[in-house]
Structure 1
Amino acid sequence: MVLSTAKYIFMFAESWQLIIKRINIPAIVKVHDTDYIILDCDYDLENTSSKGLVVKWFFNTNQVIYQWIYGRSPLADEPAAKYVDLTYKASNDPHTEYRAIKLNRPGVDLTGEYTCVISTFADERMANASMIVYSTEEKFELVYRKMIIDDKNGVEIICIAEGLYPQPTLNISVESIPKRQIENPTIKLRDDGLYNILLSIILLDEGLPETTIVKCLLSISKALYNVSRKTVYYTG
């Protein structure tokens, strides 16, 4: 009798088993480089009852941006609502058809951490992953202007980039000159959520060779993005 009861309890526990098989979220997405992306949370009810089945997607921990209650139509909220295609079905299975989010022409405001939570009256599971939607430069220039510094010939080297996301960095290097402490760049966050950045250095001609190659490196480290500009400066 004891063995029979133990077996019954084991089988009962096994029957309540909701699992998330995988969460598929693109790690890095370039703005305007794709028509849409899919955030998918593939789960299996196995033997779990579908009663109370709800799929929720959270943005940056506690903000619900998508919810599907089994038997109803899905709903979306900001910042994702303006991108979400609520007609998209991830499968033909009525228990998983609206598990995923289709985002049309995603913007940089979708950068963050996503958590999918699958729950029923009997069980709950969650999984998370991060996504960066980045924007490359609208403008990137490296220029210089000659100037007089304490009655000596000199130059101001200016590197400027506009319309980037996430926050970028700039680095100016001058051929034949050892790396030096350079002032921090000026960074401005625009109303549209993109960044402008400017970095400048001032040098005396007497410390430079007659012909000098100047290079500026623009980077978005979180997006593994790098691009550079270079110019030649002639002293005198």
Structure 2
Amino acid sequence: MDRLGVALLAVSLASFANAVVKVLDLDVPESVEIGSTDEIVMVCNFVASKDEAAEMKWFYNGNIEQIYQWIPDSDKPPGAIGRFKERLDVEHSSPDPRAKYNTLKIKDVSYDLSGNYTCKISGIKSEDSQTKQLVVYSPPKSDLEIILFKNENLVICTVSGIYPMPKLDFYIVDGNETRNIDEEIESDSDENGFNVTARYRFDNTTLSNPTTFLCNLTIPGTDYNLYKELDYYLEDESVIEDEDYTDWLISNETTGEEASIDLNQWHAQNVTMEDSSGIANHPTIFASLLFLSTFLLIS
């Protein structure tokens, strides 16, 4: 080994000797589907030199809100602190004395458990920490749908009852090209979660025939993904789609033109217009007034 290699090895050994406590691994699930489990387990694996009085602390969303504390070489039991105090199982343990209570076990899984969890190991000479994110999510209560309103040149992608707020991406497959489109996103929330709709108004003259609309849904921080596509043929009166529900919805909708005609007919039959003099401009009413005036004059 050359002198440079020896020097680097010496530096590495010195660094290890000084790092008397070290978090080796923080095992936190990236995501948990609501209802899939009754508890969440997180493990903080660490090493500490034998003569180091190490202390373990867990924090939620930063280093301010502490939720757990344990001193490995102490006879004191671990303690739960803060918002999760009643939901932490402090008796959950490992056979290894130095890692007996290095596990965080949280009961009653709910959305408020989503956040960043930090395990911090502190000694007299050094300290170390790692942070991982957890997302508690719920799949949508409804199917992901693409609906096309042909007479309005409007296509929407919609989903409801999902948590947390998802990300909707709209794409157009035009020939051999797939491109992202700038959609309008509308959202609201209720007791079932978020309801989200992405809308896109298209120009028929710019589309190839057929054109495929793609909608992709993801929940940030998870690997949850839904995908839907709809094929649009310009000359057809209906839209070809891979689910009967959307075919039915589009084939049974009232077009904008038909609605306009029906509304005009209703308006002509049921609405009485007034002129500037305030006299009703309706043939039947006008004739009645004329007859009454003539009768009074004769009398």
- Per the normalisation by structure 2, the TM-score is 0.57
Provide the C-alpha distance between the structure 2 equivalents of 1:38 and 1:86, rounded to a whole number of angstroms. Answer: 12
Q: Which amino acid aligns with 1:126?
A: D
Partners in 2 of 1:18 and 1:195 — Cα distance?
Answer: 47
Shift of 1:89: 0.6
**Aligned pairs (5 A) from 1:20-99:** 20-31=22-33, 32-48=35-51, 50=53, 54-61=55-62, 62-69=64-71, 70-81=74-85, 83-93=87-97, 95-99=98-102
Cα distance in structure 2, aligned partners of 1:82 and 1:65? 11
Aligned pairs for 1:1-236 within 5 A: 18-31=20-33, 32-48=35-51, 50=53, 54-61=55-62, 62-69=64-71, 70-81=74-85, 83-93=87-97, 95-104=98-107, 106-119=109-122, 122-135=124-137, 136-146=139-149, 153-176=151-174, 179=179, 181-188=181-188, 194-203=193-202, 212-233=211-232, 235-236=236-237
Return closer, same or farther for 1:73/1:41 CA change in 2, 3 Å cut-off: same
Determine the C-alpha separation between the residues in 1 that align with 2:50 and 2:37.
38
SS at match of 2:202: strand
Aligned residue pairs: how many?
Answer: 213
Partner deviation per Cα, 1:166-195 (whole Å, 9 max, x = no partner): 542112234438746423412345568x54
Cα distance in 1 between the residues matched to 2:88 and 2:48: 25
Contact 1:134 1:164 in 2 (8 A): no
Mapped to 1, the partners of 2:204 and 2:17 lie a distance apart of 79
Q: Output the CA distance in 2 between the equivalents of 1:188 and 1:132.
A: 24
Q: After TM superposition, what 4+ stretches of structure 1 lie above 6 angstroms from structure 2?
A: 14-17
Letter of the structure 2 residue corresponding to residue 201 of structure 1: Y
User: For residues 188 and 34 of structure 1, what CA distance do their matches in structure 2 show?
Assistant: 28
Match of 1:140, SS state, is: coil
CA displacement 1:181-233 (0-9 Å, x = unmatched):
423412345568x5432101233556556654332111234324332112344
- TM-aligned CA distance change 1:188 to 1:48, over 3 Å: farther
- The root-mean-square deviation of aligned C-alpha atoms, in Å, is 3.6
- Distance, in Å, in 1 between the alignment partners of 2:36 and 2:142 is 18
Q: What is the alpha-carbon distance in structure 2 between the residues aligned to residue 180 and residue 87 of structure 1?
A: 51
Q: Which has the higher strand share?
A: 1
218 and 84 in structure 1: CA distance in 2 versus 1, 3 angstrom threshold: same
Percentage of pairs with the same residue: 22
Identify the structure with the greater helix proportion: 2
CA distance in 1, matches of 2:109, 2:133: 11
Q: By how many angstroms is 1:18 displaced?
A: 4.1
Displacement of 1:87: 1.6
Q: 1:174 to 1:82 in 2, by over 3 A?
A: farther
Query: 2: CA distance between counterparts of 1:18 and 1:100?
Result: 21
User: Partners of 1:205 and 1:156 in 2: how far apart?
Assistant: 10
Residue in structure 1 matched with residue 244 of structure 2 by the alignment:
none
Q: C-alpha distance in 1, partners of 2:149/2:215?
A: 18
Cα offsets for 1:120-144 (capped at 9, x unmatched): 5x34522112123242333233242
Contact in 2 for aligned 1:25/1:129 (Cα 8 Å): no
Instruction: Answer with 1 or 2: which has the greater Rg.
Output: 2
